[in-house]
Amino acid sequence: MATIFTQIIEGRMPARFVWKDDRCVVFLSNRPLRPGHALVVARQEIDHWIDLDPSLLCHLAETAQAIGRAQMAGFHPERIGVMLAGLEVPHCHFHVVPIRGLHDLDFGNQDPDPPAEMMDEAAQTIRRELRRLSYSQVSD
């Protein structure tokens, strides 16, 4: 059975995409820790990050860095946090989160029902900043 992330990648479930390339996609978390919380997801279904091909791991990290640069420019947080937790969905993904402190990385603080307007605005902010930074992988 396909993971929920594969279903999203294949268009069978909705998501707010901000990046697509041949190896990964980036969309906003539907239970964000902070506005702009993005997930960098490998297209290939691999459960644990230690099982990734090193070149794919590097690609995911480079993509997370690009997203982080866009988040920093668009949201002006103290830092950009990155996590590879791997417990929620058995499909390798990076959490890239604009943060003010470590407390912003606590999954107990997820917003279970974020306003659609806030989510749309966050996606537009990331896309705008990715374009400004000259990334061609922006997804509308």
The CATH number of whichever domain residue 94 belongs to comes to: 3.30.428.10
Distance in angstroms (rounded) separating the CA atoms of residues 105 and 47 = 21
pLDDT at 82: 98
> How many domains does the structure of the chain reveal?
1
Residue 12 domain flag? yes
Query: Within a domain: residue 13?
Result: yes
135 within some domain: no
pTM: 0.96
Report if residue 40 sits inside a domain. yes
Contact 64, 94 (CB under 8 A): yes
pLDDT band (50, 70, 90) for residue 116: very high
- Give yes or no for residue 18 having a pLDDT over 80: yes
- Report if residue 139 sits inside a domain: no
Q: Could you give phi then psi for residue 47, rounded to 5 degrees?
A: -70, -55
State the Cα angle at 107 between 53 and 52, rounded to 5°. 5
In a domain, 16, yes or no: yes
Domain hosting 84: range is: 4-130
Residues whose CB falls within 8 Å of the CB of residue 96, separated by 6 or more in sequence, listed in order: 26, 37, 38, 39, 40, 64, 67, 68, 71, 80, 81, 82
Instruction: For residue range 44-98, list pLDDT tens digits in order.
Output: 999 999 999 999 999 999 999 999 999 999 999 999 999 998 888 999 999 999 9
**98 lies in some domain:** yes
Residue 140 lies in a domain: no
